Structures are given as structure tokens and as C-alpha cells.
Amino acid sequence: FVLDKSDAVELPIKFVPRCAGCYHCQILLKSSCDVRVYEIECVVNTSCAEAELEFLAPAYQAVIQDIPISNMSNQIWKLEAIIEGQGFYGPPLISVGLGETALYPLMFKPITEC
């Protein structure tokens, strides 16, 4: 049989996570003639974070800043880095394990005074 919109019932759910991660939930709905279990998985990402780094280095000498990347989810993160700006270098890919913090080595090596 086919349900139309008048047969649908809304089930509003409010979800307020404390931090980024993967959250699992089961919703049990019971009536006198039916039992249903719905499994829900919510993946929460942090909002876009912006950071500012200031590098002071003599010309032609490199300085490296290790940037911590914390993975509080239940999946391994395989991240691609896109670096823009003259004199900046870093690995194009980084993997961060479950519940781990990896350090991304961002290098600045100026070729002139700037």
C-alpha cells in the first residue's frame, strides 16, 4: 500500500552535540499493534575554523610550525592539504587515526626578504 502525505507523522528531534564526532542513537516507537526501532547516526563536524600564524625567519632559512589536528570521530581521517602562498610547503596528504592528534608540519622558507 502507498502512504500519502496525510498518513505521515512528524517526529521532531533536537540534537545538541557537545563536540565533533559520530553519534549513534536508537529510537523505539511502540503502539498496541506495532514496534519499530530506528537507528540514527549523526556526524558532527566543527565549524570552519580560521587561524592565523605569524612566521619570523631569516631569508633562505626554513621554519616549521607543527599544526595539531585532532580526530575525535570513530573513523580514520585521510586529509588533503592545499597550500597557497609563496614559500610555504607541507605534505599533500595526512592521515589522523581514531581519537588521535597528528601534527601537520607546515614549513615556511622565504627565498627573499618579505
Residue 37 lies in a domain: no
Residue 113 lies in a domain: no
Residue 79 lies in a domain: yes
Residue 39's closest CA among 21, 24, 17?
Answer: 24
Residue 87's closest CA among 50, 52, 59, 51?
Answer: 59
What's the pTM value of the predicted model, to 2 decimals? 0.55
The 10s digit of each residue's pLDDT in 63-109 is 899 999 988 777 888 999 988 888 899 999 999 998 899 999 999 88
> Where residue 111 falls among pLDDT bands split at 50, 70, 90?
confident
The 10s digit of each residue's pLDDT in 14-51 is 888 887 778 888 999 898 999 989 898 888 877 666 66
Residue 76's closest CA among 92, 59, 107, 98?
Answer: 98
Count of beta carbons in the 10 Å neighbourhood of residue 55: 15
Residue 87 lies in a domain: yes
**Domain range enclosing 91:** 63-108
